[in-house]
């Protein structure tokens, strides 16, 4: 399972990373979390509003800081059975 | 037009109305406006020659904060309202469609509605360009958005007065549209069409309809987020202004950034290259003005400073061919010089009453 956080390093993007890392350590199964701060890659991914969050290549939210509960729900939805 | 948009416009008009009544209503009745009131403090202090340097810094900080807190408060609320109520995706779609002047207009006027944080402007620029919005309108957006967002406008109004504010908005719009248009004309045949991208839409249903009470709460939450993001930067800018007033000898500023064409050209060039977080430019320019910077040089710096910086130019290079930043940077520098000269002609001196 792969989570990507897109953001060029501003305050909001750091917040998203914090929220996601918190949830991941709480859930405790193997998930790779990658912070993408290269602008070319952010644009290639089709993200307009940073921060963006993608789980297993699926766009989950952009332009806002998601709540921990939402992130947990998304991860559980995407978890391979 | 849907209810969301009407509500957003209503909120903005209300906010601006309050400011104008506060700033100008006071002036009509013969009261001193905030600008005049607080300026007398430093003017009096500066008469006493023996005040220690640290006092000058502290007084500057207190004075600037006293002068701008109300405008800043409104700016934060306006920022929250924009974030919550402006249908961003619709604006972006509008920019991508159509030919002629319409995309430029949306790039210039709608730009400020799309982004509050300067670091998120480059991804939006990249997205617009790749989605086929055209190089010109995308550039207009990139160049106008940082100069013309409500927070920057309100802070300029609080610290530099209405002349600077009005001129800044008009020049920034004109410069953005002109530079975007000319760059597209020059580069049209020289660059390959952008590689279009697959756009991932957000999963529908993740943003369910919410009631107005909930949305207004959201608005204030965004405002608070914005406060946390921007307030430290503004304080940094104010501190810099204090340091400039305390340590940079006025003679030095007058020589290099004073009155004349060369200072305007220099100020415009510094604005192009220097990275300053958004909103820092207003207190910075105020500090420089008080130490002897010319009005023309200040305006040139206000036009190029927030719109361009070396990091932003390098970021854009990753998305488009590096020739494009070279062209628009040069054009923007020229626009800064022209704006500086015109403003210098119209408003030759900065009046601190």
Closest CA to B306 of B116, B166, B104: B116
For B176, residues 6+ apart whose C-beta sits below 8 A from its C-beta are: B107, B108, B111, B139, B140, B141, B143, B144, B147, B307
Q: What is the mean pLDDT of residues B279-298?
A: 85
Domains of chain A: 2-78 (3.40.30.10)
- Catalytic annotation on A61? no
Task: Answer whether residue B201 is part of any domain.
Answer: no
Contacts of B124 in chain A (CB under 8 A): 48-49
Q: Hey, which residues does A5 pair with through a beta bridge?
A: A35, A53
CA distance B218 to chain A (A): 11
CA distance B223 to chain A (A): 13
Question: Is B119–A47 a contact, with Cβ atoms under 8 angstroms apart?
Answer: no
Q: What pLDDT does residue B58 have?
A: 80
Sign of CA dihedral B102, B104, B105, B109: positive
User: CA B97 to CA B106: how far, in whole Å?
Assistant: 11
Long-range contacts, stretch B207-216, CB < 8 angstroms, 24+ apart: B212/B7, B215/B84, B215/B85
ipTM above 0.85, yes or no: no
Closest CA to A61 of B225, B206, B90: B206
User: CA B345 to CA B179: how far, in whole Å?
Assistant: 23
Residue-wise pLDDT tens digits, B133-173: 778 888 888 888 887 777 788 888 888 888 888 999 899 88
Q: Hey, which residues does A52 pair with through a beta bridge?
A: A6, A62
Closest CA to B197 of A28, A12, A43: A43
CA distances from B88 to A44, A68, B82 (A): 19, 24, 9
Domain that holds residue B272: 3-35+50-194+211-346
- CA angle, B272 then B323 then B198, to 5°: 105
User: CA A10 to CA A33: how far, in whole Å?
Assistant: 18
For B178, residues 6+ apart whose C-beta sits below 8 A from its C-beta are: B331, B335
Scanning B86-120, the segments in alpha helix (DSSP H) are 88-96, 101-105, 111-114
- Closest residue of chain A to B93, computed from CA coordinates: A48
Question: Is A12–B206 a contact, with Cβ atoms under 8 angstroms apart?
Answer: no
- Catalytic annotation on A10? yes
Cis peptide bond prior to A40, omega within 30° of 0 = no
**DSSP summary character for residue B22:** I
CA distance A69 to chain B (A): 13
For B204, residues 6+ apart whose C-beta sits below 8 A from its C-beta are: none
Look-up: residue for tokens 């003005």?
Answer: B289
Residue-wise pLDDT tens digits, B23-79: 554 444 444 444 444 454 455 555 555 566 677 778 778 877 777 778 788 888 887
pLDDT score of A36 more than 60: yes
Task: Answer whether residue B276 is part of any domain.
Answer: yes
Residue A24 CA, chain-centre distance (Å), reads: 11
pLDDT tier, B299 (very low <50, low <70, confident <90, very high otherwise): very high
**DSSP summary character for residue B21:** I
Catalytic residue (one of A9, A10, A38, A39)? A10
Closest CA to B40 of B20, B71, B66, B22: B66
For B353, residues 6+ apart whose C-beta sits below 8 A from its C-beta are: B35, B36, B39, B40
Contacts of A38 in chain B (CB under 8 A): 318
Task: Answer whether residue B203 is part of any domain.
Answer: no
User: CA B211 to CA B121: how far, in whole Å?
Assistant: 30
Task: Answer whether residue B287 is part of any domain.
Answer: yes
Question: Is A49–B126 a contact, with Cβ atoms under 8 angstroms apart?
Answer: no
CA distance A46 to chain B (A): 5
Closest CA to A4 of A50, A73, A68: A50
Structure tokens at B225: 């987020």
Question: Is A65–B225 a contact, with Cβ atoms under 8 angstroms apart?
Answer: yes
Judge residue B22's burial from the number of C-beta atoms within 10 Å of its C-beta, 0-12 exposed, 13-18 middle, 19 or more buried: middle
Cis peptide bond prior to B86, omega within 30° of 0 = no
Sign of CA dihedral B314, B318, B324, B328: negative
A11, A45, A47: residue with CB nearest B229: A11
Closest CA to B82 of B113, B45, B37: B113
Lowest mean pLDDT among B27-41, B179-193, B312-326, B332-346: B27-41
Look-up: residue for tokens 């628009």?
Answer: B328
Task: Answer whether residue B206 is part of any domain.
Answer: no
**DSSP summary character for residue B102:** H
pLDDT score of B281 more than 50: yes
Q: How many domains does chain B have?
A: 1
Q: What pLDDT does residue B167 have?
A: 92
Question: Is A38–B199 a contact, with Cβ atoms under 8 angstroms apart?
Answer: no
Q: What is the mean pLDDT of residues B318-338?
A: 89
pLDDT tier, B96 (very low <50, low <70, confident <90, very high otherwise): low
Which of the two residues, A47 and B196, has the higher pLDDT score? Answer: A47
Catalytic residue (one of A4, A5, A7, A13)? A13
């Amino acid at each position: 399972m792969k989570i990507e956080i897109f953001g060029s390093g501003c305050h909001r993007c750091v917040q998203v990373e914090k929220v996601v890392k918190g949830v991941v350590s709480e859930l405790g199964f193997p998930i790779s979390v990658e912070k993408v701060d290269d602008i070319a890659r952010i644009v290639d991914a089709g993200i307009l509003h940073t921060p963006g969050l993608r789980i297993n290549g699926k766009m989950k939210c952009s332009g806002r800081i998601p709540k921990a509960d939402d992130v947990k729900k998304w991860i559980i939805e995407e978890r391979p059975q | 037009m849907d209810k969301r948009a009407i509500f957003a416009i209503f909120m903005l008009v209300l906010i601006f109305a309050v400011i104008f009544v506060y700033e100008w209503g006071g002036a009509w009745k013969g009261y001193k406006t905030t600008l005049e009131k607080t300026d007398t403090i430093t003017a009096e202090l500066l008469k006493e020659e023996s005040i220690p340097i640290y006092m000058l810094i502290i007084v500057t900080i207190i004075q600037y904060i006293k002068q701008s807190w109300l405008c800043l408060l409104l700016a934060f609320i306006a920022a929250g309202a924009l974030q919550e109520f402006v249908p961003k995706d619709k604006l972006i779609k509008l920019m991508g469609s159509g030919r002629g002047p319409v995309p430029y207009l949306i790039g210039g006027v709608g730009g400020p509605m799309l982004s509050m944080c300067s670091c998120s402007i480059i991804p939006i620029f990249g997205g617009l360009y790749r989605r086929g919005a055209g190089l010109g309108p995308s550039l207009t957006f990139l160049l106008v958005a940082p100069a013309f967002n409500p927070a920057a406008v309100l802070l300029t109004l609080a610290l530099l007065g209405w002349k600077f504010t009005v001129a800044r908005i008009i020049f920034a719009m004109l410069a953005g549209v002109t530079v975007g248009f000319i760059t597209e004309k020059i580069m049209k045949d020289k660059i390959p069409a952008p590689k279009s991208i697959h756009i991932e839409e957000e999963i529908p249903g993740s943003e369910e309809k919410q009631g107005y009470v909930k949305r207004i709460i959201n608005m204030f939450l965004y405002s608070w987020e914005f406060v946390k993001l921007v307030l430290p930067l503004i304080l940094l800018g104010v501190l810099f202004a204090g340091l400039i007033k305390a340590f940079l000898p006025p003679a030095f500023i007058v020589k290099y950034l004073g009155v004349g064409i060369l200072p305007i050209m220099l100020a415009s060039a510094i604005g192009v290259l220097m990275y300053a977080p958004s909103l820092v430019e207003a207190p910075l320019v105020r500090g420089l003005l008080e130490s002897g910077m010319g009005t023309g040089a200040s305006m040139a710096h206000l036009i190029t400073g927030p719109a361009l910086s070396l990091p932003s130019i390098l970021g854009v290079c990753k998305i488009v061919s590096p020739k494009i930043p070279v062209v628009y940077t040069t054009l923007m520098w020229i626009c800064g010089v022209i704006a500086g000269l015109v403003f210098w002609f119209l408003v030759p001196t900065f009046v601190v009453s």
